[in-house]
Structure 1
């Protein structure tokens, strides 16, 4: 077990920090120049490169943009597959990639399935997504994308619009599934396909759900100001309807504010992030219940989850831990969201200086959504930081690192 992961600050930093340092040196830059270009502090660059601080998503995307290096390169995603179980989880990727490539190509001459059958399978795919059942989802998605392609070529009018709506929902599930496995570029392609299908569905809210995803892509490449402007324009299209109280419209309004809050938080604009969170909180209170319109969870529970995550993104672990007390997860909370909450909370505890709390939160994430937790880069960064900062409690941390496969890269 000693080979699984370094347990002291004297051993080699094999995480994001090491790869940032390598790319910085290849560019011929000093730490100060990288800090200035990426708009982060030199002390943070030093701490991350030396393994004394975990790399946050904002730090990774900002450094990637500054160094002109893809985020996947800094994260070394997708992670290597060295076990049979890992191979099975990734097995659907080649067929998914093929379906995303041929999305507009006329299918072979086979009878289309009924709209009822397709609707049931799309709902099943979305459920698998929320359950983070990535193995079975990867098996279902290629054939479902193919069948939906057959269906829209074989239909017209309102039936075709409904099929495009189902296709958009399936592309959303596809994007999330491949993203969680580390195929970020493939996830971006699925977002492109989502926007294409949503535009043909006749559903304006579905188009805005695409804007939500597009903004996520922009945030991921450190275009935070651009994402905020884009989301503001998106909200303007439904702002006149907010007073009518339609729950689906309100949920979309609230989600667009949450995404704006994320962009602001990563840009270090705390007041703006808090303002968007307040708007989302008020909107969730108006709805009064958790909803899943367009497979974008929204309601009081998800806003509470986001409140913790936004505090973490602003590197305020103490506030994140404080906010977590208000989070009440119900049996109906999707595992995807509940697992993500505990991943964020682990980062919050780490920032707060509570290493035991961080490891406990990681264990909760593992119980709820094991595959999501295993492949989440922020889990790896948190575990690596725990291992380096606390040599006295290495056995449990080492075991968690082994479960994540961190010693095999």
Structure 2
């Protein structure tokens, strides 16, 4: 994949900006065109100036796929992508304040033991995966949990401290999930870095590989090249012994899935499917009913991501075929079920099957209103459908727009 190390001229026109960010991301013209529902020739027309700058919904979709703010794509006055395709949760200020608050005087503090902290972290994961409005539920406990985990690390030593560090990494993962798809990219990067640092300080291979999985997603949102994400996941996977089964096999399979997703994003079908096969093999070896208690890796997750991979490869027909066979009922996470239903909607959207798109987005919203509300695809698709929907789905699109909070955007 060619790298783009050139700096973008701040005065560059829209056509040059599209080409610059496409090349930096590593997309070919057909891949970028497919991801936004257009052809490679359409992208060429945009980049050569033969076609005019598209309307706002398509601009938003381009920015989403390229992983940048709208103002970086258009070069016009400040118009951050968060204005249109990211929502802010009511408790966002409380969570971000907790992440930047430090307890200096610890003279009278009695820290939680590692066992006590592990129980509280497990309860927080249960809230994240079990609640339909998971951000609201987790935001109630997250600020105090951040402080308690930090204090446990600071005030314990030896094995107790190492256990607390591994748990602190999980707390930062919860914060990453809470912050994702909200207008706080700097805080998202902060939590990812802190999680990896805590995991490394714990010298815990499982904590490090879990941090690599979550950093993979942060890198994707930050527009980092696929090579960086693949390299991180590959290096982390070498810390594991998948032949031992159990946790090692589950996290190894998860990282194979991360590598597959990165290859799919850059259009490398053979590599993507090869690593997906490895992830599927790991899930099968763990058993049909296995699901990791908080990473949720298992056969259901692997099958669901097959739809994402085919959609990223712009194979809309194969993505919808796989979606028709998908059973998410057994996946023990309302959050993940809603996310994958939105991915199924994306597969239909690629084929311009708008009835199917709206139907699946409504299902995603019913499964978890907050997951759907914070889905960049759902928000950008509904914005576009608001302008283009036919009479058969116009009322449903209007209802989705209200549900996702787009009317006030």
TM class by shorter-chain length?
0.7 to 0.9
- Which residue of the other structure, out of 28, 31, 37, is the alignment partner of 2:12? 28
TM-score of the superposed pair, with normalisation by structure 1: 0.82
Answer whether contact 1:61 1:221 (CA < 8 A) is retained.
yes
Structure with higher RCO (Cα < 8 A, 6+ apart)? 1
Give SS of 2:80's match.
helix
Q: CA deviation at 1:291?
A: 4.4
Q: Using a 3 Å threshold, how does the CA distance of structure 1 residues 294 and 66 change in structure 2: closer, same or farther?
A: farther
Please name the residue that 2:33 is paired with: none
Give SS of 1:385's match.
helix
Written as runs of structure 1 = structure 2, the 5 A alignment for 1:8-407 is 27-31=11-15, 34-35=18-19, 37-39=21-23, 40=29, 41=40, 43-44=42-43, 49-50=54-55, 53=58, 55=61, 59-61=65-67, 73-76=80-83, 79=86, 89-91=89-91, 93-102=92-101, 107=106, 109-131=108-130, 132-222=133-223, 223-238=225-240, 241-242=241-242, 244-293=243-292, 295-392=294-391, 393-407=393-407
Q: CA deviation at 1:65?
A: 11
Task: Report which stretch shifted further, 285-294 or 141-150.
Answer: 285-294
Q: CA deviation at 1:332?
A: 4.6
Q: CA deviation at 1:60?
A: 2.8
Q: CA deviation at 1:324?
A: 1.1
Answer whether contact 2:291 2:331 (CA < 8 A) is retained.
no
Cα distance in 2 for partners of 1:166, 1:282 equals 29
Q: Using a 3 Å threshold, how does the CA distance of structure 1 residues 292 and 101 change in structure 2: closer, same or farther?
A: farther
Give the aligned length. Answer: 374
Cα distance in 1 for partners of 2:345, 2:374 equals 15
Residue by residue over 1:37-91, the C-alpha shift from the partner in whole angstroms, topping out at 9 and shown as x without a partner, is 523456245698335757167633278798598xx9334378566xxxxxxx422
Give SS of 1:76's match.
helix
Cα distance in 2 for partners of 1:177, 1:282 equals 30
Cα distance in 2 for partners of 1:203, 1:162 equals 9
Answer whether contact 2:69 2:80 (CA < 8 A) is retained.
no
Task: Report which stretch shifted further, 263-272 or 24-33.
Answer: 24-33
Q: Using a 3 Å threshold, how does the CA distance of structure 1 residues 68 and 401 change in structure 2: closer, same or farther?
A: closer
Task: Report which stretch shifted further, 127-136 or 361-370.
Answer: 127-136
Q: Using a 3 Å threshold, how does the CA distance of structure 1 residues 310 and 109 change in structure 2: closer, same or farther?
A: same
Cα distance in 1 for partners of 2:246, 2:170 equals 19
Unaligned runs of 5+ in 2: 1-7, 24-28, 30-39
Q: CA deviation at 1:210?
A: 1.1
Q: CA deviation at 1:374?
A: 1.2
TM-score of the superposed pair, with normalisation by structure 2: 0.82
